[in-house]
Amino acid sequence: LICTTVNEYALRISLLKKKYAIRIFFSWAIIASIFSVLITHREHFNQEEELTRKATILHRMASQKADQHDAHLSALSVIASSSDVPQIQMFENLSETIRKFYTHVKHVELFTLDVDEKPTLLFTTRQQPLSSVLISKMISFALSSNGKIQILPYEQGYFLLKRSPNNDDARYGVALFIDAEGLLENGLNFAAETRYLLSSPNGIPIFNSSPNIVATPDRIAAKYTATLSSRSQPLRLEVTQHGSWTEYIPLNNILLFAIFSSLGAFFIYAFLMQKFKIRQAEERAILRENEARIAKASRINGLGEMASGLAHEMTQPLTAILSQSQAGVRVIQSSDANANIIEEIFFNISKQAKRGGELTKRFRDWTTHAEENRETFNLNSVATGIHDLIQTDLKERDIFIKLDLTHDELPIYADQISIEQVIFNLTRNSIEALDGVKHGLIEIATKLEGNFAIITVQDNGHGIAEEDMIKLYQPFFSTKKNGMGLGLSLCESIIQRYNGQIEIINNEKQGVSACVTFPLKKTL
Ligand SMILES: Nc1ncnc2c1ncn2[C@@H]1O[C@H](COP(=O)(O)OP(=O)(O)OP(=O)(O)O)[C@@H](O)[C@H]1O
Ligand SMILES: [Mg+2]
């Protein structure tokens, strides 16, 4: 029971270790995954914030530049229409000044607005002449301005057109060509794959900073859109940063976290294991204490059993001593007292006293854990010894005891006194079963069968009731008035100690046969 408990305990601890290792591993894996997702999300959020911050600055810078265009156009318009004939030289001077300080203002144009006459370009800063179709378009835009500055997208920028003077009698049109790239120029160091788009208020694209970027929705990582705050140029600015989410996984941070968290998990595991070991040691100590208590209890129990057994076994030599002593008294009182008879009686008394001494010695050996006295002996000699011992007692009863020994040697390795006890108990049961039976017969027989020595004690007594058969070896089971019910239970435990077997059956005709088998010791 104790061994099973200890083994089960060790198994439980090893299962607990595995269980905790698995639990800690999975917890670590879940925490690491959550951390990775969060940190990636955080990184993405940071990118978005960064883009918004820079795009807002860009938006402010472009809006400020756009606001200045109004003032340029107004100044140029004043020069154009201040006299009957436009002051071209002054116009040119101002144009150059504007272009010099505001480099995104690429060109300045001045043209007549007389619809009846052929449109005439009075001034341009371009080397290449503009197409007449474009000039017509510019004129129509300028005329339709109704006082408001008009925007005409063209190539990588847009024209800003204004009539001059700014009323229905306008004679000239003034145009500024704004280079969108220059307008959006900035030193903001946007991340790679950032694209800015500028489009007119009615959605016509004006400028695309990176036409090569494939702007599929799944690759847009962050986006900023706003309309320039200039009243005359409410252009739409869109800044997008491209890239897939995998590009935002901060591998270094995740790797660092994985290393430190796995170290942490390992320390937690080691800590828990340490705690387990301490608990294990404590529980083992308790278990050992219990073991000792159980052992003590079982010894006390065993002591009781042994005491009962001893009492049982001691009755035989004491009874024999008593009957021999009574026989001696009778012989001395009778007239035919003879030294030989008295000597035999004393010899028998001393033999029984020695046997009693041997039995008490076994009790002492058992309590002091002394080694059992095993030896190799012939089972036939035990049978003869018991036969001789009992024969004296049976003389006065109507019981005949027969000995039928095999001629083969029957060497067995055991404690001889214990084996004698077994045969004696079986014989005593037979004697008791023959109480009141006429012509009682007990036969002690031995035989060799293969590697086994067999001894049988057979009687022609009253036999055993069928329902009692299964109770024979139970301690304290007895059908006798003065029986302790320990004889067969003692026999069984002794026989099993020497790897033997016992079988008790009712004979076909009458009485009982008790058959005991022992393994043979190879040499005597
Ligand atoms: N040869 C036999 N003939 C008939 N009954 C027997 C025989 N041997 C054993 N028994 C039955 O088995 C019972 C148990 O035997 P066991 O030797 O264990 O105890 P017991 O003889 O009753 O008491 P004791 O402790 O004094 O030996 C006996 O009470 C008896 O009923
Ligand atoms: Mg008995």
* Per-residue pLDDT tens digits for 224-238: 999 999 989 999 999
Ligand 1 contacts (CB < 6 A) are 312, 425, 429-430, 433, 459, 461, 463-464, 468, 472, 477-480, 483-489, 512
Q: What confidence tens digit (pLDDT) does each residue in 403-450 have? A: 999 999 999 999 998 899 899 899 999 999 999 898 899 999 999 999
| Span from the CA of 297 to the centroid of ligand 1 (angstroms) | 29
Nearest bound ligand to CA 443?
1
First to last CA, the chain: 38
pLDDT at 367: 65
Give the distance, in angstroms, between the CA of residue 220 and the centroid of all CA atoms in the same chain.
42
Residue nearest atom 7 in ligand 1 by C-alpha distance: 429
pLDDT digit string (tens) for the chain, length 524 residues: 444 455 666 677 778 778 888 988 999 899 989 998 898 888 888 888 999 999 999 999 999 999 999 999 999 999 988 887 888 999 999 999 999 999 999 999 998 887 667 778 889 999 988 888 888 888 888 887 777 899 999 989 999 999 888 888 888 899 999 999 999 998 888 888 888 899 999 899 999 988 887 767 677 778 899 999 998 999 999 999 887 767 777 888 889 988 998 899 899 888 988 888 888 788 888 888 877 776 665 556 666 667 777 887 888 789 889 988 988 898 888 877 788 888 988 998 998 899 888 888 877 776 665 667 889 999 999 999 888 878 767 877 889 999 999 999 999 999 998 899 899 899 999 999 999 898 899 999 999 999 999 999 999 999 999 999 999 999 889 999 988 888 999 899 899 999 999 999 999 999 999 999 999 987 54
Spacing, Cα 511 to ligand 1 middle (Å)? 12
Distance 429 CA to ligand 2 centre (A): 5
Quick one: which ligand is closest to 309's CA? 1
The alpha carbon of 436 and the centre of ligand 1 are apart by a number of angstroms equal to: 16
Tokens (6 digits) for 369: 């854990």
User: Which phi and psi (to 5°) does residue 280 adopt?
Assistant: -60, -45
* pLDDT at residue 1 in the model: 41
Give the three-class secondary structure for 504: strand
DSSP state of 129: P
| Backbone φ, ψ for residue 454 (5° rounding) | -125, 135
Q: Are 136 and 148 in contact (CB under 8 A)?
A: no
Q: Residue 125 is encoded by which pair of tokens?
A: 């800063």
DSSP 282-343: HHHHHHHHHHHHHHHHHHHHHHHHHHHHHHHHHHHHHHHHHHHHHHHHHHHHSTT--HHHHH
Residue 3: its pLDDT value, please? 44
Predicted TM-score (pTM) of the model is: 0.49
Say if residues 32 and 257 touch (Cβ distance below 8 Å): yes
469 Cα to the center of ligand 2, angstroms = 14
Q: Which ligand has the minimum distance to the alpha carbon of residue 464?
A: 1
Helix (H, G, I), strand (E, B) or coil at 460: coil
